[in-house]
């Protein structure tokens, strides 16, 4: 089984998966994609999904880190990542939504974004801004005013500082919550203007070092063209317990053509026939003219499904 991660270095959600791959000691293939469109070899595999990262296993494509993390736990036969249950999963959800929006707002402050963009040409900055405007399409990625973000983040840091005295958020081994919290802290730490906000919190810094020490695992570079060919030459593997839960799907049936859309931003629907809809996963089968049959996996939370 070849794990392929489509990502770019500065993507904070990609860092969540890279560190998880290191923790789980999984070998993987790295496809570096541009931070903005176009992505001509990836779009046929994902059906047009715009967010980063995307994981590929042959002709199975996983969108959103919620479903990527569960797939990696299965591949690694790891029983501890979700052992803390509901509390850890809710903290992970908070970090991937509220904490994420806060740290993005911090990095969107004028001084911070100037530092982040200082190495780019004016043309590159304009292209990035245009791409993100198209991605949000009226649903702003940043929902926290930059002026308020600092106060919010400092409150979160204070709570984390008193909760972290060695170990991880829910014990001596990391849970899914740790990877969600860490990648947001990593994003702040990577900005030269915002980095100093972490300086006064020794427990938080020690925690970040414990997470950072997992590394990114063993990986090799793969071209976008090679990943495209691997998807084209494979057939998708149907998920276990491939059924449509009527309590979730209401009037939608297995085999029906549907569009799956994110509910926050990047809302363009991914079209396919419905294969599975369960509490933890939505799967559709796409028949793409370039790459053939592809199964695309999404989490249930954060996505909506509609007939097309």
For 239-266, the pLDDT digits (tens) are 988 999 999 999 999 999 999 999 998 8
| H or E stretch covering 92 | helix 86-94
**In the CATH hierarchy, which top-level class contains the domain 86-211?**
mainly alpha
Averaged pLDDT score across all residues of the chain: 93
Instruction: Classify domain 4-79+220-307 at the CATH topology level.
Output: Glutaredoxin (3.40.30)
Delimit the CATH 3.40.30.110 region(s) of the chain.
4-79+220-307
Delimit the CATH 1.20.1050.10 region(s) of the chain.
86-211
Q: Output the pLDDT for position 141.
A: 66
Q: Write out the E strands in 75-231.
A: 219-221
Q: Output the pLDDT for position 214.
A: 98
**Pairwise pLDDT comparison (210 vs 144), residue with the higher score:** 210
Whether the link from the prior residue into 11 is cis, omega within 30° of 0, is no
DSSP conformational letter for 142: -
Strand duo 292-298 + 60-63: pairing: parallel
For the ranges 89-103, 116-130, 240-254, the lowest mean pLDDT is seen at: 116-130
The encoded tokens of residue 74 equal 């299965």
Residues 64-84 have a mean pLDDT of 98
Question: Bridge partners of 304?
Answer: 261
pLDDT over threshold 70, residue 174: yes
pLDDT over threshold 90, residue 114: no
Please tell me the distance from the alpha carbon of residue 239 to that of residue 138, in angstroms, as a whole number: 34
Q: Output the pLDDT for position 138.
A: 61
Q: Output the pLDDT for position 145.
A: 86
Q: Which of 286, 281, 266 is nearest to 67 (CA)?
A: 281
pTM, to two decimals? 0.94
Q: What percent of the chain is modeled with pLDDT above 70?
A: 95
Residue pair 216/22 in contact by the 8 Å Cβ criterion = yes
Confidence of residue 90 (pLDDT cuts 50, 70, 90): very high
């Amino acid at each position: 089984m070849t794990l392929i991660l489509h990502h770019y270095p500065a993507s904070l959600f990609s860092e969540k998966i890279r560190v998880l791959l290191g923790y789980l000691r999984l070998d993987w293939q790295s496809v570096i994609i541009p931070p903005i469109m176009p992505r001509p070899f990836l779009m046929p595999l994902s059906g047009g999904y715009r967010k980063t990262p995307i994981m590929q296993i042959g002709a199975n494509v996983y969108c959103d880190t919620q479903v990527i993390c569960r797939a990696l736990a299965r591949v690694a036969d790891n029983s501890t990542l979700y052992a803390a249950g509901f509390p850890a999963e809710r903290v992970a959800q908070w970090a991937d939504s509220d904490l994420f929006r806060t740290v993005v707002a911090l990095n969107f402050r004028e001084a911070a974004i100037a530092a982040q963009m200082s190495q780019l040409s004016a043309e590159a900055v304009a292209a990035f801004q245009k791409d993100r405007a198209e991605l949000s399409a009226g649903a702003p990625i940043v929902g926290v005013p930059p002026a308020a973000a600092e106060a919010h983040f400092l409150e979160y840091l204070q709570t984390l500082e008193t909760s972290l005295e060695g170990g991880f958020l829910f014990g001596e081994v990391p849970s899914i919550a740790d990877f969600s919290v860490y990648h947001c802290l990593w994003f702040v730490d990577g900005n030269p203007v915002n980095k100093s906000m972490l300086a006064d919190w020794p427990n938080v810094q020690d925690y970040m070092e414990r997470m950072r020490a997992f590394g990114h695992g063993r990986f090799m570079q793969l071209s976008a063209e090679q990943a495209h060919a691997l998807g084209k030459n494979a057939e998708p593997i149907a998920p276990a317990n491939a059924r449509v839960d009527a309590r979730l799907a209401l009037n939608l049936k297995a085999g029906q053509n549907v569009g799956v859309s994110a509910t926050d931003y990047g809302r363009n629907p991914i079209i396919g026939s419905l294969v599975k809809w369960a509490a933890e996963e939505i799967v559709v089968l796409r028949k793409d003219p370039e790459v053939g049959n592809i199964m695309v996996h999404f989490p249930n939370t954060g996505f909506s499904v509609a007939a097309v």
